[in-house]
Structure 1
Amino acid sequence: MRWFAPKTRQDIWDETVEGPLGDIEAAERIRAICDAAASSAAGLACSDKRGSERYERAAKVAMEIAMKISDGLMRDDAVHRIVNLCMRANDLKTAQILFRAIHAAWIRETVQRDHPTLAQ
């Protein structure tokens, strides 16, 4: 009786992608992943294990997608979004590593302004 079975919620980062993504589609997907995972990342302050697992999966998938973006500015913007997600989750180590991967000066300045602890 599948009617009464608990339904598992599938997150956007768990969905399969048909075919390769272009740069614009990849950036849109990263934006959607970061927006969807923001609540899990914010819940990490309460040390919620399920929220932590959701955040880690979301960040991992977003990073994998970002590595495949060929346009430098789009990739830097996508990494900026992932850094914001990491900072919401208090994952300073990952955020610092990703911050160093941003090449565009104006995006680096924006990240430094938003998160001054990364500049240290």
Structure 2
Amino acid sequence: MKWFAKRKPAEIWDETIEWPLGDIEAAERIRAICEVAAASAAGSARDDKRDSERYERAAKAAMEIAMKISDDLMRDDAVRRIVDLCMKAGDLKTAQILFRAIHAAWIRETVQRDHPALVS
């Protein structure tokens, strides 16, 4: 009976994107991805394989979207959200790489204040 079969809910980062996506829509999508993936990021820090895979897919999708944002400040803010997600997952290497991509001084200072481990 297929009527009662549970369907696996689609993740927001697995949904297809209708390009071209505007900067505001891209930033909103990244924010939503990071919010949804935050629980998985915490789980991936505890070596939960399923959570780790969810975090990696979410982070990859968010990074791909962020690369296409043309407005510098919006892109920096989106990258900041992805850095926060990486730090929740304990993915310091990726977070450091993304941190270096942030150009706005006030966003860099905020990230440094929130995550001092990125600076060392």
TM-score range, shorter chain: over 0.9
- 2-side partners of 1:28 and 1:71: how far apart? 14
- 1:66-81 aligned within 5 A: 66-81=66-81
TM-score calculated relative to the size of structure 1: 0.96
**Alignment root-mean-square deviation, CA:** 0.9
Per the alignment, residue 52 of structure 1 pairs with 52
- 2-side partners of 1:44 and 1:17: how far apart? 26
Q: Kindly tell me the number of residue pairs found equivalent between the two proteins.
A: 120
Per the alignment, residue 98 of structure 1 pairs with 98
TM-score calculated relative to the size of structure 2: 0.96
- 2-side partners of 1:26 and 1:105: how far apart? 22
- 1:14-29 aligned within 5 A: 14-29=14-29
Per the alignment, residue 36 of structure 2 pairs with 36
Deviations 1:59-109 (A, max 9, x none): 000000000000000000000000000000000000000000000000000
What's the secondary structure of 1:68's corresponding residue?
Answer: coil
Answer yes or no: is 1:8 the counterpart of 2:8. Answer: yes
- 2-side partners of 1:99 and 1:17: how far apart? 26
Per the alignment, residue 63 of structure 2 pairs with 63
> Structure 2: 5+ residue runs without aligned partners?
none
- 1-side partners of 2:59 and 2:70: how far apart? 19
- 2-side partners of 1:89 and 1:38: how far apart? 8
Per the alignment, residue 112 of structure 1 pairs with 112
State the identity as a percent: 79
Runs of 4+ displaced beyond 3 Å: none
Shift of 1:7: 1.3
